[in-house]
Amino acid sequence: VITDVLTGASSRRALESALPRMLYRSKRRGTDLSLLVVDMDHFKEVNDQYGRQDRVLQSFAGIVSDTIRSEDLLVRLGGDEFLIATETDADGAMRIARDIVSAFGKAEPRVTLSCGIASAVDGDSPENVVKKLMRPCTGRNPKAVIESSCTIKVNNRRNLQRLIILVLPNTPGAL
């Protein structure tokens, strides 16, 4: 299956075939490739309180699809965790994350998001780039955190080596 039936996002299988091509294309063009992992915080509790929230997942996928470029890739990793592969540097990926958090906060104010970003370094394999996002970290690097009063929580499982942890407001107009 290449597309997640519920959200319309690509599947992990699509990521496995697309990521090497995207890395090759970004190297050929001389651009960066960044990956964003976005996780809905405490989504199980939202499901328990409000019932199954497929609509929230669909809303998120729609917002992301409207935010990213057609050549970017949205992947549902499973449950409430998504990955976005985009041909941009870490600053560009951060702008995308801010746009997504802002738009999603307006649409679904009761659900907050945690975001992690890793950018490919020249010569990185697809596996290396994904490992940058998924490897457990040993602590929090305060220089990598954007200071803000907000409801977004930092996901401490994310790798901090060459990773920017986002702490973003989840309220309209707070950016």
Neighbouring residues of 17: CB distance < 8 A, sequence distance ≥ 6: none
Q: How far out from the chain centre does Cα 135 lie?
A: 15
Determine the Cα–Cα distance for residues 8 and 82; give it in Å rounded to an integer: 12
For 39, the enclosing helix (H) or strand (E) is strand 34-40
Q: In the Cβ-directed half-sphere of 146, how many Cα atoms lie within 13 Å?
A: 23
What's the token pair of residue 100? 């997504």
Active site residues: 80
Determine the Cα–Cα distance for residues 70 and 87; give it in Å rounded to an integer: 11
Q: Contact, 82 vs 38, CB < 8 A?
A: yes
